[in-house]
Structure 1
């Protein structure tokens, strides 16, 4: 990146270099302050030219840094220099000077303290200057029209005087004029005509520094009003990214906030507001600030109307804001600014326009703007986890004795409403005025405290927090002992045994060998065997167990052996699990315990599945489903259908899996959100959709799975799922969706605070950088890649990832023309590759670097390009020695082809032809079913072009091309492979 210039360059060359470097910086305080320093430095030279260029840079920094008060002052100095020494201004500088009359007119317009008469005087000055210089008055009439529109006068005549005139060299760019004409018709209420005028800009055919972002922000609501909802959504995503946090585009940000508020996306609006918090304090243009604040107020007012005024909101620095508090502040400030403009202009235009925006009703109840659909509850710091579908809340008794007894009854059944009862009891018992019922049926307080600990332990185990769960179970067992309830204590200790055995062992280091991994598996199997033996002893030594308690112990014994089988996969561990399952099934059937009968059948199913006997597993689960539908418990159905769907994956029946998982999700609506792992069901359904070739549907399910994981606290898994969703959206070409999703994730509090695994965050950033590259935002993509390459250089435990990232970074630097830096980063990639090979990725990067250098620099870049290809050649040799099989093209044939292209770009046509013929030999002629026919045909085409056009050997080139067309046609390959060859042959015949 450009380095900061010295405060006082010692020569004009140093000054001009510093001005060029500053010009590459984004607009903002750093660029502006540096420009101010460079003006001071320019004044030390006797020549006026350095000062002229420094003043031009400073005015641009003020103009696009939203400091309109300072821009006219700088321009006055430039104008004086021009009047005093016109010869200093060459044609380019003269053009810039007269162009910036419009900048000054716009700056004065933005300041309510500048009298209207002064604005008109400036336009008169502009007209006189343009007439004297014979420059044409269309730009002047454009400024006169904008003043009339700003004041609120009848613009009919002013519009005609401007729009009917022929454009001249100093007219605003086509994109900006299109926007002004469209806004004129939009103000007249003609949405359709405005959108027709905007079409070239919205389609990307006309653009400039501010366009299409400015036009997009204005077009969003007209698009909605005319029913073009999908287009509005797409333009919002792309348009917002172009203006976020940009001081000179605060008005556009405000209109995007308004768009969110009017489409049921208030939560996204608050998220975007937080991202642009800097605009409250850094925008120095009253007119721009008025528009921004009005958009903010539209959003905040909508949130208040939805009853969420107490939600946190990002506002002015220095204090914490709620939606209601910030809205009151914004309203007062915006009203004041509007009143000041109206006082200056002698109209009520700005107050009226503001009221129109604030009074707009929502245009849509809900528009899914991004892949990450969130509601206002998700913005609150303590927002509760929402159920995936509406379901009547569990009925929790009011009377305390009844509540305690109900909680125990539901817990004995493993009913999904039990947690709601325990949660209510936990709140009551924690209260300072809690009084325990004196009721023999309820029992003592110590028993209730043990019950609550056991419930807490169960929830910890579900989150795989096994160490905490084991401690809680032991504490509960001790309290049950105090309450003289040995049977309950035995069950709690059995649970503690199982959770203790599941505490993960320390993961072997990167250098661990297979023997160490095997030792870890055997150690875990020993722990589970010991846990099972201890449970059996507990069972035998605990008299007085109720049937329900005895069944639970049998179930825990079976689970211990099931986990052992899952750990080892050993055939000798199958029969013991099935024996425990059969014992549980017989006992539960004898005592009519429906839930435990289901548990026994489920244990049999999973055992057969782990053993690899999927047909038997499906038969078992089919019988279980029949029983659940007839006898219950109904809340087991979603989980069981989910398992059946996963079994269908194993049988490669994605259609059946999709049906089972869809039905499982439908049934989850009947139960509390935490009764079933709904996130897992959505994730599995996404996999089914991918296997069925329905990626867009898969994407929706992946994002739902991830968001449920975030709400449920499984944040690492959720971020991983979201990472997969982002990559899928990128693969589908939904670039803006991908970027918007990742922007939202990277703004999460724990990500910003550095509490999420740094490698996971790096993966999210890497996908975002690739999406930016795909979206042709090379500047932003390069900045992110460079940052990631620097960070990954410190990953001593993962040099392979650094090699991959550095390779991609080098390519982007080369695309920006920075070949020296690209070579440096490529060398870093090669050094990391030596430690952890990434044959294909790095070979691809080096070949692309070579192509770019030869293409951009021609013969001057040939030596460096060939050096890069030599590095790629060494990687191909290493890959061959390691018996590495490339997933894409053969590294050798791809390298030979690139030698052909590089030499062709450099004008070394004979070497190019030799390399291409080698590539054709390596590829071999394609057969009927070969998948490299397209690659072979392209290689033939390039060889034909080099031979026939550049080496002027038309006859052999035609022979080569005709033979290839005949061969491909005979094999039945697509015309897309033969058409380029036929076209080139026709060109050669015409030229001959």
Structure 2
């Protein structure tokens, strides 16, 4: 919807201020152009100057260097004609922007070199006439010399030796130019020494430290500081991605990925910056960006992946090889144009040096999400087989009849290698020229088709796709009947019965409907078993296994103890039958089912006893492929019993053994996820994070994407808890651009959790503006979650706090009201109380007495929430809501200068807290001490009642000291000394 044009100069200034808050890009530039048109309608020249300044800034930082000098020419003309219009601030801006024009002209190869030098002469003359120091002029002269690649040393000396002025570039920008001078000379160490204050965040500006970071990455690698380079890559990339005015910086991050074994991440970042191919209007920035892109694409193509898709210019689909050729042609042309203008070969040489640079590291783990080019090629493909499994697959029979017979033999044994046979047969049978063997031992084609359908249905069932499993087994049963194999058909029909019972039941929150369906399925399975003809012992054992499974699942769904005995009766029947007919896989299956049922029931000692016995049995008798799964079960039992070390040992051994089998046999993702939880329990959070991320990527590779995103969500939260803010943001940014997320195909609540964690990470990283924007968008979306008002209450509350931190108290009040409305439907007492108290504190802290009334409104709401909690019998996890409210009342009134009210509230908080005791909770003692300290400060300093304040502080210090809480006593002791000194 079009924005109404300002009608007065005051409205124009307000609109200009609002536009200045927008990120640089086309939207801000278009609005600046509209505001300039409006400013031209007013008779006063000052608004026009301000509008021109805003438009020039939009062009400069929106990578439109051709337009920036034109706008500045109008400003300069106005200055020459009406100098009195320009106040000191406007005059400073005018002379500052001579540098912007000089920089813009350098970026355009069509501007002759003489014109560049003429502009610098104009700048020098203007500065001398205005009695301004010439250091900024010499700075621009050096930039031009460095760009051309001629006489740069002399130009550097003329600039670097001069004293800075008010119009000099900021410290961070000048540091970058000095460092680049030494970097060009090949002195990495000198450059990095100069860059240190910028890279550490001590000096910054609009473009820094992002610009310096992009240049410093490779020198850091060359000097052995890979970890610092990794951290700065994550931080610096976020500041320049999708930013047209920093396209060159984005290109250097792509180059960094290519030279550290992170080609897959490079392609991911390239896709994220696709807009830069079309939105960068600066030829120099284009050259810099395209060269970085070409370094990446050459590396990917050289590794044999030239056919991979790559994000490039709009309007067509690109492969790596095709885009590389296009980029090379365009970049070569740009370099040639600059060198022709400059009369040197500098840009061709610089390009060649970058393109010919060899990788600096074979592999540097840049992010928590480690991906290889093979993952990009087939993101949902199963993980490659482990070496032993691959060797077994290679040993499969080549002759078709032998392969079919071998597959069936392995299937009868329940051996996991059967799936490799079926996979090869599926490929062969799909060939239009497939000829089925005329071999009585192999049987008809209908039987092979049934075999393949049954195998595919089993795989669907393993992924909980019960509808596909039921349909596949039903079709297989019909084909088995056609082939004259009633026993096989009976087994498939039994699978259909169980799969249909496992289909989700909408609205079945208690599990009763599911339990009923599974009970009915068991009855049907018993009847089918009794009526089945032609079952051999192995087939009969499979049906018995399905019967036991149905009852075990029923018990799991219902938790009803009456359903427990039938489970054990069926597992006993299965085990006895399997022992009698020597079917090891079903003996193990029965015992595993029994131990698992004990665990579901909560009888962990019995579950551990059963798992212990089964581990011993499997180690001696097999089947070996059941051992990792059993160790995984025993590990979860150990976790439940509080023995994290035993769980860790089992899981580590399970993973070692699982490596001997194909990925589909044992879920190593589940084992790794459990190992992550166990490592966390053992106080090894970094190791836990590593296991979680590997588990998640394993789930990605096997197509279990919902599970993968859930695991990654947990990993992101752990990473944030560990203070790895940039790692967290990089991980979530990578996940949120996945195709199924972008298309809205993933569970919206899971995506919301990812975005919520990202907003919290942005906040922790100091990017309050981005964090607030993300949370505000989430709050708007979650308002539509009629089935989950509690989550909306939490999100709206967090949004309100961030808005208040930004000083937007009107919007914060609106968000808090939304949170309160949602809270009324699904109470979140503690979260809402915390939010409202924090809002009151922020408003009083930022606005003082002027914000007291509004702050009291928040506190009144918090009091109402505390009353509701008390009536509902809700107990807070930390201090009581009443105590926390009283303390905040004291702090808010102190910020607002209402000291008597503050002291009264603090007295109430102390009364609610009570005196600290020897075995008291450390947090409670700390809160009591802080409350005493604040009351002493209000009373002794602001109310100037030193004696009563000391009478409060001294006994508190003595009490804390006697309790051995010297740390909590120190601030009170310091305050008492200050009061005695009369300070």
Q: TM-score, normalised by structure 1?
A: 0.96
Partner of 1:37: 34
SS at match of 1:991: coil
d(CA) in 2 for partners of 1:187, 1:114: 25
Per the alignment, residue 228 of structure 1 pairs with 225
Query: Residue 814 of structure 1: which of 781, 786, 804 is its match?
Result: 804
Q: Does the CA-based 8 Å contact 1:487-1:545 persist in structure 2?
A: yes
**1:26-425, aligned counterparts within 5 Å?**
26-380=23-377, 384-387=381-384, 390-393=387-390, 394-395=393-394, 396-425=396-425
Going from structure 1 to structure 2, the CA distance change for 1:391 and 1:306 (only over 3 Å counts) comes to farther
Structure 1 94/390 Cα, relative in aligned 2: closer, same or farther at 3 Å? farther
Asked if the contact 2:768/2:802 (under 8 Å) is kept, the reply is: yes
> Which of residues 925, 934, 942 in structure 1 aligns to 2:926?
934
**Where in structure 2 are the equivalents of 1:266-665 lying within 5 Å?**
266-380=263-377, 384-387=381-384, 390-393=387-390, 394-395=393-394, 396-508=396-508, 517=510, 520-521=511-512, 523-665=513-655
Per-residue Cα deviation, 1:630-679 (whole angstroms, up to 9, x for no partner): 22221111111111111111211010001101111111111111111111
**What is the alpha-carbon distance in structure 1 between the residues aligned to residue 424 and residue 928 of structure 2?**
71
Following superposition of structure 1 onto structure 2, how do residues 14-25 of structure 1 map, counting pairs within 5 Å?
14-25=11-22
Q: Larger deviation: 386-395 or 163-172?
A: 386-395
Q: Tell me how far 1:74 sits from its aligned partner.
A: 1.0
Distance 1:801 1:576, change over 3 A: closer
Partner residue of 1:768? 758
Q: CA deviation at 1:144?
A: 1.0
> 1:377–1:384: 8 Å Cα contact kept in structure 2?
no
Per-residue displacement from partner, 1:67-88 (whole Å, max 9, x unpaired)?
0011111111111111111111
Is 2:720–2:761's contact at 8 Å kept on the other side of the alignment?
yes
In the alignment, the residues of structure 1 paired with residue 271 and residue 288 of structure 2 have an alpha-carbon distance, to the nearest angstrom, of 17
1:240 is paired with a residue whose SS is helix
CA distance in 2, matches of 1:504, 1:843: 38
Q: Per-residue deviation at 1:442?
A: 0.1
CA distance in 2 between counterparts of 1:945 and 1:389 reads 67
Q: Residues 481-528 of structure 1: CA distance to partner in whole angstroms, max 9, x if unpaired? A: 11111111111112122222222222247xxxxxxx3xx52x434433
1:377–1:383 Cα contact (<8 Å) kept? no
Work out the CA distance in 1 between the residues paired with 2:664 and 2:658.
10
Q: Deviations over 1:796-837 (max 9, x none)?
A: 222221111111111111111111121122112111111111
Deviations 1:18-69 (A, max 9, x none): 2111111111111112212222222222221111111111111110000001
2:501 touches 2:521 (CA, 8 Å); kept in 1? yes
Give the 5 Å matches for 1:674-693. 674-693=664-683
- Which residue is equivalent to 1:6? 4
Alpha-carbon distance in structure 1 between the residues aligned to 2:820 and 2:526: 59
* Partners of 1:5 and 1:18 within 8 A in 2: no
Report what 2:972 is aligned to: 981
Alignment correspondent of 1:969: 961
Contact 1:727/1:767 (8 A) holds in 2? yes
Q: Matched residues in 2 for 1:117 and 1:58: separation?
A: 27
Distance 2:600 2:797 in 1: 41
The alignment yields a C-alpha RMSD, in angstroms, of: 1.6
Alpha-carbon separation, structure 1, partners of 2:179 and 2:916: 55
SS at match of 1:368: coil
- 1:612–1:84 distance in 2 versus 1, CA, 3 Å: closer
Contact 2:380-2:700 within 8 A present in 1 as well: no
- TM alignment of 1:757-796, pairs within 5 A: 757-796=747-786
State whether residues 565 and 574 of structure 1, in contact with CA within 8 Å, keep that contact through their aligned partners in structure 2.
yes
After TM superposition, give the deviation of residue 294 of structure 1 in Å. 0.5
Q: Distance in 1 between matches of 2:713 and 2:299?
A: 32
The aligned residue for residue 512 of structure 1 is none
Q: How far, CA to CA, are the matches of 1:18 and 1:533 in structure 2?
A: 74
After TM superposition, what 4+ stretches of structure 1 lie above 6 angstroms from structure 2?
Answer: none
Quote how far apart the aligned CAs of 1:211 are.
0.6
Is the 2:790–2:825 contact (alpha carbons within 8 Å) kept by the matching residues of 1?
yes
Any conservation in 1 of the 2:933–2:975 contact (CA below 8 Å)?
A: yes
Please state how far the C-alpha of 1:216 moved relative to its aligned partner: 0.8
Worse-matched range after superposition: 557-566 or 357-366: 557-566
Taking the aligned partners of 1:277 and 1:313, their CA distance within structure 2 comes to 10
Query: CA offsets per residue over residues 371-421 of structure 1, 9 Å max, x none?
Result: 111111222256622248544412332211111111111111222221121
Question: 1:243·1:250 contact (CA, 8 Å) conserved in 2?
Answer: yes
| Bigger mean CA offset, 965-974 vs 605-614 | 605-614
**Matching of residue 672 in structure 1 with residue 670 in structure 2:** no
Report the counterpart of residue 513 of structure 1 in structure 2: none
Give the paired residue count.
Answer: 978
**Does the 8 Å contact 1:565/1:573 carry over to 2?**
yes
Query: SS in structure 1 opposite 2:156?
Result: helix
Cα distance change on mapping 1:390 and 1:62 into 2, 3 Å = farther
Partner of 1:899: 889
Identify the residue that residue 829 of structure 2 maps to in structure 1.
839
Deviations 1:925-964 (A, max 9, x none): 2222322111111111111111111111111212222221
Aligned to 1:954: 946
Q: Secondary structure at the match of 2:97?
A: helix
Instruction: Answer whether contact 1:706 1:719 (CA < 8 A) is retained.
Output: yes
Query: Using the alignment, how far apart are the partners of 2:640 and 2:789 within structure 1?
Result: 35
Aligned equivalents of 1:177, 1:802: Cα separation in 2: 47
| Contact 2:379 2:701 survives alignment (8 Å) | no
Q: CA deviation at 1:627?
A: 2.2
Gap change, CA 1:174 and 1:361, over 3 Å in 2: same
CA positional deviation for 1:5: 4.7
Aligned to 1:909: 899
CA contact (8 A) 1:281 1:317 kept: yes
Name stretches of at least 5 consecutive residues in structure 2 with no aligned partner: none
CA distance in 2, matches of 1:658, 1:938: 41
Tell me: CA distance 1:377–1:989, structure 2 relative to 1, closer, same or farther (3 Å).
same
Which stretch of the first structure deviates more once superposed, 260-269 or 425-434?
Answer: 425-434
197-206 or 612-621, larger mean C-alpha shift: 612-621
The CA deviation string for residues 357-383 of structure 1, in whole angstroms up to 9 with x for no partner, is: 111111111111111111112222566
Task: Note the C-alpha offset of 1:158.
Answer: 1.4
User: Is 1:928–1:973's contact at 8 Å kept on the other side of the alignment?
Assistant: no
Larger CA deviation: 557-566 vs 207-216: 557-566
Give the match for residue 736 of structure 1: 726
Alpha carbons 1:286, 1:337 under 8 Å: kept: yes
Work out the CA distance in 2 between the residues paired with 1:612 and 1:895.
41
Structure 2: distance between partners of 1:234 and 1:382: 26
What is the rounded CA distance, in whole Å, between the counterparts of 1:405 and 1:451 in structure 2?
11
SS in structure 2 at match of 1:114 = coil
Residue in structure 2 matched with residue 751 of structure 1 by the alignment:
741
